[in-house]
């Protein structure tokens, strides 16, 4: 008697891809697939790709090359590429890697089961459309299996901002928001299965318009769900941080005091060249208003160094902005060209200058992150415990500020939300004792 077919998914990039991979696994579960963490054990391999990082496409081709031997040994093995690289380079993937059976874009993965069936009949299947139907409505209901205490929930996709360095508007399409009633239904289902913290996802999540009061209205409605203890959201644009959403950081107890608000640069000249549509000063005023609403708010940001035509003076303006904000964490990268975007056609900064600036910027961010983390020692925080630590009797979780925290205590279970007094600050985590 043969067992169920096995699906191996490798996920690259952002939290939205994590969510998409979960939904693709659920869709294929309806076709008799169960997940495996071993590609050599799989009947289907699916790479869910991201196009944001440098040389993203080449990394996908390299990964596919590792599976040539598996495909040769198991001709019935199905290999698929999904996500943003699939959207951007679907036909090229098929041309360069003939062993790939199907390519599906991020707006079409609800069609994955029928694509797999066609591939099973020997067809090569490519679907990178932007279909009119709502993929979330076309997907079957989520599995009723028990979940961990945290979950991602996509509420908005696409972006209309067209930053000069970004491919998202081309790979994910225009901004689309899910209706609030459907988000609420999925959130309630997650809570019924053990989830206590939900992170709302979107390429530009604070542009959400599926509720008549925007993202703040959705957050306040979600806060009425019994058993849902924590709400977060990412990623936001400074221009869409409206008055109601700022106020929610002060008056909605379940909205956590942590916000990822990318600025990318501190030079107005570079921000204009990036088509960011805000200035350094307008960004700082948003931060001021947020901290007035929630004084203990921890901020995270994104920074690109070495953007085309960036001078040392421009870069120093970015360092000045970082000094003014004091970030709890941040993501920083050297600029890399994305074919088809405006910035790719402009004069580039030499690589050695990019390297030097990135090291200086990351050193400043690391100092800030460590100072804010060290300042937590002696404070009491709420920790949502998620999984056992590396040592026996140790349990790890996240504080409301998204710090990793571990304690030595018997009897704790994933999903427990407890007060912890912080006793020590390590390089990347905090230690504490139960209060």
pLDDT digits (tens, 9 = 90+) for 177-230: 999 999 999 999 999 999 999 999 998 999 999 999 999 999 999 999 999 999
The reported pLDDT for the residue numbered 142 is 55
Q: Which of 12, 6, 62 is nearest to 39 (CA)?
A: 6
Average pLDDT of the segment spanning 275-302:
97
Residues of the chain with CATH 3.40.50.12160: 5-127
Alpha-carbon distance of 6 to 292, in angstroms, equals: 51
The token pair at 433 is: 């004792």
Per-residue pLDDT at 427 exceeds 90: no
CB 94 within 8 A of CB 5: no
Helices (H), 30-140: 56-65, 68-73, 84-96, 112-120, 135-138
Residues of the chain with CATH 3.30.750.210: 144-256
Q: What is the pLDDT of residues 127-173, one digit of tens each?
A: 877 666 666 666 656 566 788 999 999 999 888 888 988 877 777 78
The token pair at 313 is: 């003076």
Which uninterrupted H or E stretch holds 200? strand 197-201
- pTM comes to 0.83
Determine if residue 14 is labeled as part of a ligand binding site: yes
Which CATH topology does 5-127 take? Rossmann fold (3.40.50)
Residue labelled with tokens 């699906």:
7
Please report the sign of the dihedral spanned by the C-alpha atoms of residue 214, residue 218, residue 219, residue 224. Answer: positive
CATH number of 144-256: 3.30.750.210
DSSP assignment letter at 255: B
Determine if residue 159 is labeled as part of a ligand binding site: yes
The reported pLDDT for the residue numbered 172 is 78
Which CATH topology does 380-434 take? OB fold (Dihydrolipoamide Acetyltransferase, E2P) (2.40.50)
CATH class of 283-375: alpha beta
Per-residue pLDDT at 92 exceeds 80: yes
Alpha-carbon distance of 27 to 92, in angstroms, equals: 26
Q: Which residues pair with 49 in a beta bridge?
A: 83
Residues of the chain with CATH 2.40.50.140: 380-434
Residues of the chain with CATH 3.30.750.200: 283-375
The reported pLDDT for the residue numbered 134 is 65
Per-residue pLDDT at 55 exceeds 80: no
Per-residue pLDDT at 345 exceeds 90: no
Per-residue pLDDT at 233 exceeds 70: yes
């Amino acid at each position: 008697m043969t067992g169920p077919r096995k699906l191996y998914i490798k996920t690259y990039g952002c939290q939205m891809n994590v969510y998409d991979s979960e939904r693709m696994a659920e869709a294929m579960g309806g076709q008799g697939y169960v997940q495996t963490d071993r590609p050599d054990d799989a009947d289907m391999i699916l790479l869910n790709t991201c196009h944001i990082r440098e040389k993203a496409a080449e990394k996908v081709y390299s990964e596919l090359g590792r599976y040539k031997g598996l495909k040769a040994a198991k001709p019935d093995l199905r290999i698929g590429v999904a996500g943003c690289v699939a959207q951007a380079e679907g036909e090229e993937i098929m041309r360069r890697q003939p062993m790939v059976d199907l390519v599906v874009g991020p707006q079409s993965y609800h069609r994955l089961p029928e694509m797999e069936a066609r591939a099973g009949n020997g067809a090569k299947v490519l679907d990178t459309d932007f279909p009119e139907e709502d993929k979330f409505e076309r997907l079957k209901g989520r599995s009723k299996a028990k979940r961990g205490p945290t979950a991602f929930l996509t509420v908005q996709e696409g972006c209309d901002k067209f930053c000069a360095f970004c491919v998202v508007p081309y790979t994910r399409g225009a901004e689309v928001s899910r209706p609030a009633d459907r988000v609420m239904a999925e959130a309630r289902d997650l809570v019924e299965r053990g989830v206590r913290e939900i992170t709302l996802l979107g390429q530009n999540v604070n542009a959400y318009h599926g509720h008549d009061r925007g993202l703040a209205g959705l957050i306040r409605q979600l806060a009425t769900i019994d058993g849902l203890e924590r709400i977060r959201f990412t990623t936001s644009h400074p221009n869409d941080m409206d008055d109601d959403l700022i106020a929610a950081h002060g008056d909605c107890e379940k909205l956590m005091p942590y916000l990822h608000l990318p600025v990318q640069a501190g030079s107005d000249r570079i921000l204009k060249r990036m088509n960011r549509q805000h200035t350094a000063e307008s960004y700082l005023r948003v931060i001021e208003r947020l901290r007035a609403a929630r004084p203990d708010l921890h901020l995270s940001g994104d920074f690109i160094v070495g953007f085309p035509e960036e001078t040392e003076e421009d870069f120093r303006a970015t360092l000045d902005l970082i000094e003014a904000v004091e970030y709890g964490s941040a993501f920083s990268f050297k600029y890399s060209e994305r074919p088809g975007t405006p910035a790719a056609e402009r004069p580039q900064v030499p690589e050695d200058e990019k390297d030097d600036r990135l090291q200086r910027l990351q050193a400043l961010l690391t100092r800030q992150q460590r100072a804010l983390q060290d300042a937590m020692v002696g404070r009491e925080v709420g920790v949502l415990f998620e999984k056992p630590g590396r040592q026996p009797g140790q349990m790890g979780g996240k504080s409301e500020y998204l710090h990793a925290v571990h304690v030595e205590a018997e009897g704790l279970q994933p999903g427990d939300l407890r007060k912890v007094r912080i006793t020590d600050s390590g390089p990347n985590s905090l230690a504490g004792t139960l209060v």
